[in-house]
C-alpha cells in the first residue's frame, strides 16, 4: 500500500515539474534523447538531461523495518521484521542508474493458528536506462517494464527550478520543508504527519535520496489492522564522482516481461521521475500526497469515454461456490450499479447473505468511481477508503478521447496478461470474452465479458489458485442511456482515508 501511495506522490511531483507556461526547456522531439561522446544524455537541441545534479556515484544503504498485522476475526496476528541493504550506482547525471536490493526477512508470531519462523534472502533490482524503468525480480524471474520516453521534460529543469516546483507540490500535499545535515551533506528535507501520530520523512541531496523514514503508520482494512512501527532506509556509505563499472547497467536475460501502465499515465501528463532514486518512483517508502482527486482534476477527463454508453442502470447477481484454500464460500448477492458521464461517475452497491464455512455472513459493499478517484465504503468500521484507479488512469492516457473505452480491453490484455478467447451475448448485448490473470501470477484465473468498455459478466476460477470452484457475477437487468439521479451517487457520511 505504501509503495502505491509513494508512486503517485512521485508522479505528482514530476507532473508539476514540467508545467512551464512558456514551454521553457521542452524537447523539440519528445522521443529524442541521444548519448554524446562525453558520456551524457542530451536532447535534440543539445541540452543535457539530468535526473541528479551530480554526474556519477555509488551510495550504499541500510534498511530496517518492523510491522504488525492483526485480525481478530480471522485469528491473524503477525510481526514482520526486516533488515537488508541497497546499493545504488548511477552515471550520466542519473540517466543510467541501478539499485540492487538484498533483504533478509524474518517473520515471527501467530498466524492462522500456527507459529511461523521463516528467514529468506530476497534479491531484486531497479534499472533506469534509456528513459525506461525496469523492476527485475530474481526470485520469480520477472521483469516489469515502465516506458518513460515521453516524460523527459523534468530532466531539463535546472536544480533551482526543480526545487522550487517540488516545494510547491509538496506543500499542497501537506509536506513541510526544512534543511538538515546528514553525513556531512546539507539536505532538503520533507516531512508529512498523519492524523494518527505517524509521519513520513525524506532527505535529498542534489536530487538524490539519502534517507527516508516512516513511523507508526496505521492501515485499516475491515477487521485487519496493519501498523508500520518503523521503516527506515538510510545511506551508510556515499561516494560521489567515482569511477563506475558501466557493465552493470544491463538487463537480466530470460525473464518474463510485463509492461506497467504507470508509464502511459505519466506520458499523458507529461511527467517523469521528479525526485531522486529509482525506489523514490517505484520502491519502498510512503507518503500522503497523491495525484489530484477526481473533483480537482476533472479537466484531464473532459471528453473521455470510459464506456461507449453515456449512462445506465445495471443489476447483477453474483453466485459463489468456491474455496480459496482457507474458507469455503457459498451463496449469492445482488449488486445495483448506476453510472453516467460515459462511466466517469459510477457507483455499485452489493447486498445479500453468503455462507463462510457454513456460517451466515451479511454482505454490504459499496464502491464509487469519480474520474480516476475510487471510494470503497467499509460499513463495519464506518470509514471510506480513497485511492486512484489504475485502469482509469491508463485509459485517460489516450489522445483519442472518443474511443478511450477501447483501452479498457487493451489494459486487460497488456497489463494483466489477457487474451480474447471468444464472443458471447449477455442479455442480448455483444461481448468479447477476455481471459486474464487476476491473482498476480501468470495463470489465467479470471474472465470478463466486455461490452463497449463495460463488464457485463465476470468469472473467477479458484481452481487456478490452489482452491476450488468459481464465483460468477452476471448482469440480470440492463438499462442504457437512461436518466440517473445525482442522489444515487451520494456516499455515507463517514471519514475518508487515503
Quick one: which of 74, 85, 91 has its CA closest to 38?
Answer: 91
**Nearest to 273, CA basis, from 357, 387, 150, 390:** 150
Instruction: Please enumerate, as own/partner, the contacts of 72-79 that have beta carbons within 8 Å and a separation of 24 or more.
Output: 72/223, 73/223, 74/112, 74/223, 74/224, 75/110, 75/112, 75/113, 76/111, 76/112, 76/224, 77/109, 77/110, 77/111, 78/107, 78/108, 78/109, 78/110, 78/111, 78/116, 79/107, 79/108, 79/109
Which string of DSSP letters, residue by residue, matches 113-175? TEEEEEEEEEEEEEEEETTEEEEEETTTTEEEEEE-TT--GGGGS-HHHHHHHHHHHHHHTTP
- Cell triple for residue 160? 533551482
Q: Report pLDDT for 298.
A: 47
The one-digit pLDDT tens for each residue of the chain (498 residues) are 344 333 334 434 444 444 333 343 333 333 445 555 467 888 888 889 999 999 999 999 998 888 887 766 666 677 778 888 889 999 999 999 999 888 665 555 544 444 444 444 557 888 999 888 888 888 778 888 888 876 678 888 899 998 888 888 788 778 899 999 999 999 999 998 877 778 889 999 999 999 999 888 777 665 667 788 888 999 999 999 999 999 999 998 888 887 765 555 544 443 333 334 544 443 333 333 333 333 334 455 778 899 999 999 999 999 999 998 788 999 999 999 999 999 999 999 999 999 999 999 999 999 999 988 899 999 998 999 888 787 887 777 677 888 889 989 988 887 788 899 999 999 999 999 999 887 655 567 899 999 999 999 999 998 877 789 999 999 999 999 999 999 999 999 998 886
pLDDT at residue number 439: 61
- pLDDT value for 414: 78
**What is the total residue count of the chain?**
498
Map out the domains of the chain with their CATH numbers.
Answer: 2-282 (no CATH), 298-497 (2.50.20.10)
Is the pTM for the entire model greater than 0.75?
Answer: no
pLDDT score at 263: 55
Amino acid at each position: 500500500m505504501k509503495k502505491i501511495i509513494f508512486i503517485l506522490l512521485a508522479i505528482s511531483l514530476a507532473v508539476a515539474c514540467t508545467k512551464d507556461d512558456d514551454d521553457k526547456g521542452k524537447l523539440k522531439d519528445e522521443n529524442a534523447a541521444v548519448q554524446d561522446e562525453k558520456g551524457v544524455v542530451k536532447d535534440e537541441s543539445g541540452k543535457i538531461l539530468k535526473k541528479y545534479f551530480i554526474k556519477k556515484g555509488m551510495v550504499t544503504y541500510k534498511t530496517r523495518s518492523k510491522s504488525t498485522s492483526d485480525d481478530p476475526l480471522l485469528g491473524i496476528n503477525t510481526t514482520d521484521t526486516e533488515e537488508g541493504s541497497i546499493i545504488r550506482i548511477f552515471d550520466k547525471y542519473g540517466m543510467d542508474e541501478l539499485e540492487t536490493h538484498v533483504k533478509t526477512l524474518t517473520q515471527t508470531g501467530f498466524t492462522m493458528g500456527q507459529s511461523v519462523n521463516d528467514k529468506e534472502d530476497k534479491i531484486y533490482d531497479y534499472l533506469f536506462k534509456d528513459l525506461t524503468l525496469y523492476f527485475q525480480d530474481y526470485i520469480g524471474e520477472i521483469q516489469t517494464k515502465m516506458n518513460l520516453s515521453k516524460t523527459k521534460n523534468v530532466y531539463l529543469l535546472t536544480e533551482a527550478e526543480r526545487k522550487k516546483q517540488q516545494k510547491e507540490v509538496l506543500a499542497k500535499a501537506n509536506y513541510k520543508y526544512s534543511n538538515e545535515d546528514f553525513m556531512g551533506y546539507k539536505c532538503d528535507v520533507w516531512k508529512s504527519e498523519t492524523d494518527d501520530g505517524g509521519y513520513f520523512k525524506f532527505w535529498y541531496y542534489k536530487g538524490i535520496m539519502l534517507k527516508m523514514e516512516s513511523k507508526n503508520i496505521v492501515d485499516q482494512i475491515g477487521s485487519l489492522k496493519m501498523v508500520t512501527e518503523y521503516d527506515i532506509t538510510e545511506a551508510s556509505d556515499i561516494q560521489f564522482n567515482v569511477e563506475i563499472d558501466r557493465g552493470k547497467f544491463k538487463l537480466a536475460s530470460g525473464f518474463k516481461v510485463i509492461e506497467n501502465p504507470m508509464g502511459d499515465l505519466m506520458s499523458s501528463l507529461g511527467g517523469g521521475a521528479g525526485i531522486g532514486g529509482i525506489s523514490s518512483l517505484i520502491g519502498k517508502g510512503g507518503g500522503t500526497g497523491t495525484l489530484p482527486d477526481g473533483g480537482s482534476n476533472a479537466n484531464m477527463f473532459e471528453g473521455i469515454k470510459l464506456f461507449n454508453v453515456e449512462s445506465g442502470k445495471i443489476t447483477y447477481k453474483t453466485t459463489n461456490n468456491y474455496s480459496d484454500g482457507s474458507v469455503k464460500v457459498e451463496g449469492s448477492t445482488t449488486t445495483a450499479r448506476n453510472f453516467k458521464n460515459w462511466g466517469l461517475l459510477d457507483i455499485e452497491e452489493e447486498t445479500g447473505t453468503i455462507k463462510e464455512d457454513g456460517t451466515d455472513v451479511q454482505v454490504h459493499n459499496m464502491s464509487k468511481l469519480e474520474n480516476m478517484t475510487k471510494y470503497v465504503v467499509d460499513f463495519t468500521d464506518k470509514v471510506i477508503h480513497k485511492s486512484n484507479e489504475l485502469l482509469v488512469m491508463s485509459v485517460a492516457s489516450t489522445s483519442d478521447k472518443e474511443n478511450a473505452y477501447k483501452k479498457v480491453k487493451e489494459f486487460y490484455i497488456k497489463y494483466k496478461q489477457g487474451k480474447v478467447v471468444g464472443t458471447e451475448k449477455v442479455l442480448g448485448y455483444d461481448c468479447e470474452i477476455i481471459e486474464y490473470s487476476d491473482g498476480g501470477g501468470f495463470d489465467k484465473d479470471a474472465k470478463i465479458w466486455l461490452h463497449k468498455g463495460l463488464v457485463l459478466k465476470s468469472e473467477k476460477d479458484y481452481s487456478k489458485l490452489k482452491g476450488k470452484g468459481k464465483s460468477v457475477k452476471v448482469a440480470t437487468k440492463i438499462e442504457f442511456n437512461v436518466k440517473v439521479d445525482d442522489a444515487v451517487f451520494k456516499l455515507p457520511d463517514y471519514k475518508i482515508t487515503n
